[in-house]
């Protein structure tokens, strides 16, 4: 049975980590209101970083909801994902999605990312 936790080692923590993904993004996966950029990392597990700006979600409660749902989705799917660094960017219109729709979007994005890394 896999452990579904989200410790520090599964997070992008420094500005350098984010810069590395932005500069070397080999994989791009689009979803409604979301964009995932990813590049291979030197670890054995995926790592996640979130960029949810005030421009895309004006209210703090909306930004926090998006982050919480994204982290939860990643936590549940981490065992299926390859060893890549992933940055999730929110786009305008993200606040119009309800929780169920956002969860479906993220689940589809994880599957497409897994498939594109496997086929590369």
- What are the 10-residue block averages of pLDDT along the chain, 120 residues in total? 74 94 95 94 93 95 96 93 95 94 95 91
2 found inside a domain: no
* 84 touches 114 (CB < 8 A): no
Number of separate domains in the chain: 1
Cα torsion at 39, 8, 88, 82 (round to 10°)? 40
Distance between CA 92 and CA 94 in Å, rounded?
6
d(CA 86, CA 105): 15
Query: Residue 1: what pLDDT?
Result: 41
Give a yes or no: residue 3 inside a domain: no
Which residues form the domain of 57?
A: 8-119
**How far is the C-alpha of 13 from the C-alpha of 20, rounded, in Å?**
12
Distance CA(114)–CA(1), nearest Å, equals 20
Please check whether residue 62 lies inside any domain of the structure.
Answer: yes
Distance between CA 34 and CA 108 in Å, rounded?
A: 11
Q: Is residue 72 part of a domain?
A: yes
Q: Establish if 1 belongs to a structural domain.
A: no
Distance in angstroms (rounded) separating the CA atoms of residues 85 and 18? 9
**83 within 8 A of 41, measured Cβ to Cβ:** yes
Write the CATH number for 37. Answer: 3.30.230.10
């Amino acid at each position: 049975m896999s452990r579904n936790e989200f410790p520090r080692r599964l997070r992008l923590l420094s500005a350098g980590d984010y810069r590395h993904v932005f500069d070397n993004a080999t994989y791009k996966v689009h979803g409604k209101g979301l964009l995932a950029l990813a590049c291979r990392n030197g670890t054995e597990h995926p790592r996640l970083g979130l960029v949810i700006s005030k421009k895309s979600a004006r209210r703090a409660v909306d930004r926090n909801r998006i982050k919480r749902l994204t982290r939860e989705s990643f936590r549940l799917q981490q065992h299926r994902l390859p060893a890549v660094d992933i940055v999730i960017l929110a786009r305008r219109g993200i606040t119009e999605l309800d929780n169920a729709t956002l969860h479906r979007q993220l689940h589809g994005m994880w599957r497409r990312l897994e498939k594109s890394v496997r086929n590369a």
